[in-house]
A and B are shown apart, each in its own frame.
Chain A
């Protein structure tokens, strides 16, 4: 079989068919669809830029020291701001973080390391995934049923409602990043005679920390932007908060309330508050990215 001449071509092969013909139907279809996809991708990013432009133009115009330091105006009053809403949002997100992170981390430890294949872990994982698609307003309804009916509207109730929404995000992100810790490292630690909890505290958690923090930051960013769960748990207040068990203002509810008002001043403030809220959410998102990138 060594007499095949590689330099000669079979005479019957149509060499032309191997060349690209740009006006062939299938090439044209391909080109049109490519153009369409480019169009969709560009069209799809317009809303983001439109939102950002509106926030900077409308919100930036009104965002000043007064808006950041004073209380919401009533009716025809001019000026005013949303200082109490900023504080309220931060406090409630802090409460939600304080509740959801410890529980979420411990649950993730169980799911990722202690007993990954048990039926309990499988069910918990599935429930957590289901809860990520849980309508946020139902977290509010639930907290209303458990806390508000008995103790009234409060920042704590708002924080609990947000915690219900943060929990699945924290659990799933923490589990994912703990699973990424190389088996070799845990094996080495076990080989040194560590107990399970020593391995978890001294090897798995420190190694998985960037991923865990990323998940927490993303959960915090999501919670800061939520409004539906706060509607009838924290309600709203026109004054600075003095204790945790009273109705509390939040940026998102302020935007919701002011957006429907017939006064220009309130609508301008709603835009300024939106800008502040988006900035808070973005800060946590960027933090999440930075921490995530530092992962080796």
Chain B
């Protein structure tokens, strides 16, 4: 007599049995809910574009492209132009990228290329992560009371000695491009470092072994083998760090001086799109709100393009290494 495993399947004392109709119903309902939540994420970004774009439409129709090329922001005369803000956004992010990018990549090399014991590397990694955890507004406060006073003597000296160079062309009267870019650099450093560390980790270990086996010094291996191999990942890190810098708001609103001018000088006050929104929005009237919505659309488009390009490069990198492995 063979053992019949289904002997008790129908008895009330057993829990085994095929899923009931209600189980299947629950399953498909659950699936639909999960699917709609995933779809919601896609709808969210479309909804954001639709809502902000919709409110910006009157201003778009009225100002057209002169909004992007105009240089005055005057509520009284209803003249709205954001060229100084676009310039300030790109210039501050560019300066921050040069500084924060250099530091971020160097720290990533420091963390991944066996300079220090793994445990010490973990400590440094925690430091970099904590740097990312500090709120923007606290960096702004720190910038006002630590960075600006610290930069003032340096700026004075540079202006008096090298004032003929445009980037040192004005005095630092308080808030300005230099402290803003410096704090911005600190804020994007963790982003750049984290993505670059990831890019280095993706390089198969045998690549480094091969380089050392050829008798390279550590830095020859880094400069001639590791960096070129990780180059697309590092590029993604820089582009995404740049995107982070473009949208950063509070620290810049507190440090950049909110002045609508285009000036190459590092010590002149400037303005960015995000800090224009932060400083003008709370007290704006109907017409200015429409113009600010237009400014938000400009900011949204710039950051979306930069982020999509950065993510594209990152995905390309991941595929490249996964394909090889």
Task: Give A residues with C-beta under 8 Å from B.
Answer: 26-27, 29-30, 33-34, 36-38, 40-41, 43-45, 47-48, 50-51, 54-55, 58, 103-104, 106-107, 109-111, 114-115, 120-121, 123-124, 126-131, 133-138, 140-142, 144-146, 164, 167-168, 171, 193-198, 200, 221-222, 224-228, 231-232, 235, 252, 255-256, 259-260, 267, 270-271, 274, 277-278, 281-282, 285
Contact = CB atoms under 8 A, between A and B. Distances in A.
Contacts of B320: none
28 contacts: A33-B219, A44-B128, A47-B186, A51-B138, A103-B37, A106-B37, A107-B37, A107-B40, A109-B34, A114-B34, A124-B39, A133-B247, A136-B136, A137-B277, A138-B52, A140-B281, A141-B292, A146-B47, A195-B23, A195-B24, A197-B26, A198-B23, A225-B138, A227-B137, A228-B274, A259-B144, A278-B135, A285-B130
Given A103-B40, A124-B41, A232-B282, A54 B142 contact: yes
Contacts of A193: 16, 18-19
B231 to A, nearest CB: 18
A145 B42 contact: no
Contact of A41 (B39, B51, B124): B124
Given A145-B55, A256-B250, A271-B141, A48 B127 contact: yes
B249 interface: yes
Contacts of B218: 30, 34
Contacts of A50: 142, 146
Contacts of B225: none
Contact of A278 (B138, B250, B281): B138
B250 A44 contact: no
B325 interface: no
A141 B52 contact: yes
B51 A136 contact: no
B154 interface: no
Instruction: Sort A-B residue pairs by CB-CB distance and give the 9 closest, nearest first.
Output: A135-B247, A225-B135, A106-B37, A228-B249, A110-B34, A107-B37, A110-B38, A30-B217, A197-B30
B262 interface: no
* Interface size band for B: 35 or more
Interface string B233-254: 0000000100110111110011
Interface of B: 16, 18-19, 23-24, 26-27, 30-31, 33-35, 37-42, 44-45, 47-48, 51-52, 54-55, 102-103, 106-107, 109-110, 115, 124, 127-131, 133-142, 144-146, 186, 189, 217-220, 240, 243-244, 246-250, 253-254, 274, 277-278, 281-282, 292-293, 296, 299-300, 303-304, 307-308, 310-311
B38 A120 contact: yes
A232 B141 CA distance: 20
B41 A107 contact: yes
A119 B47 CA distance: 20
A267 B308 CA distance: 40
B274 A197 contact: no
Interface of A: prevailing SS: helix
Contacts of A114: 31, 34-35
Contacts of B292: 141
Contacts of A198: 19, 23, 27
A26 B19 CA distance: 70
Contact of A40 (B52, B106, B246): B106
Contacts of B274: 135, 137, 228
A68 B20 CA distance: 56
A198 B18 CA distance: 13
A259 B141 CA distance: 6
Given A124-B38, A137-B247, A193-B19, A41 B138 contact: no
Nearest to A146: B51
A282 B189 CA distance: 19
Nearest to B308: A130
Given A130-B304, A197-B27, 19 more contacts: A27-B217, A29-B219, A40-B107, A41-B110, A44-B107, A107-B38, A123-B42, A135-B248, A137-B296, A145-B51, A164-B48, A196-B27, A196-B30, A196-B31, A231-B281, A256-B253, A259-B141, A277-B137, A282-B130
A135 B54 contact: no
A122 to B, nearest CB: 10
A138 B48 CA distance: 9
A225 B250 CA distance: 11
Contacts of A200: 30
Contacts of A29: 217, 219
Given A120-B38, A134-B247, A30 B220 contact: yes
